């Protein structure tokens, strides 16, 4: 039983040691996790995979600038030419993660526009039907 406290602390100790070594040496680490809150805390470049394909890749700050969370009356995003990554509708309101590479704000009657949180960005690409990034873009 005395092993449990060591096992419980190990991931934090390991991450702390790993990032300390990275800071000292300038090494790059590829870290994979399903714990979104943990990723936000430790990474600066994000790659989202879904069904074995890259759905999103880039510097986290730049990715957040290239996306918006838009909320408005149901149907606001239908046929508007938006690149909708994911959307949900409840009680007559639709909320969508939208890609807008020029960082333009999407405005209109009854629309609310905000930068996505890290969670909204990651989960939007995991939940949505966003097309995979073409291989030539990743090369």
Q: Is the pLDDT of residue 28 over 70?
A: yes
* Residue 1 is assigned to a structural domain of this protein: no
* Residue 13 is assigned to a structural domain of this protein: no
* Residue 46 is assigned to a structural domain of this protein: yes
Q: Is the pLDDT of residue 131 over 60?
A: no
| Domain residue limits at 132 | 31-138
* Residue 4 is assigned to a structural domain of this protein: no
Q: Is the pLDDT of residue 122 over 90?
A: yes
* Residue 14 is assigned to a structural domain of this protein: no
- The residue with greater pLDDT, 79 or 69, is 69
Q: Are 67 and 116 in contact (CB under 8 A)?
A: yes
Return mean pLDDT, the chain.
79
Number of folded domains in the chain? 1
Confidence of residue 130 (pLDDT cuts 50, 70, 90): low
């Amino acid at each position: 039983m005395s092993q449990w406290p060591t096992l419980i602390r190990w991931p934090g100790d390991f991450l702390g040691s790993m990032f300390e070594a990275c800071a000292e040496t300038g090494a790059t680490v590829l870290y994979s996790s399903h714990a979104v809150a943990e990723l936000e805390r430790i990474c600066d470049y994000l790659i989202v995979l879904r069904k074995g394909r890259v759905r999103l890749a880039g510097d986290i700050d730049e990715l957040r600038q290239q996306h918006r969370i838009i909320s408005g009356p149901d149907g606001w995003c239908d046929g508007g030419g938006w690149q909708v990554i994911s959307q949900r509708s409840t009680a007559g309101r639709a909320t969508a993660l939208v890609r807008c590479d020029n960082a333009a704000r999407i405005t209109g009657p009854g629309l609310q526009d905000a930068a996505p949180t890290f969670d909204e960005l990651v989960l939007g690409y995991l939940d949505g039907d966003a097309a995979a990034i073409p291989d030539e873009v990743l090369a």
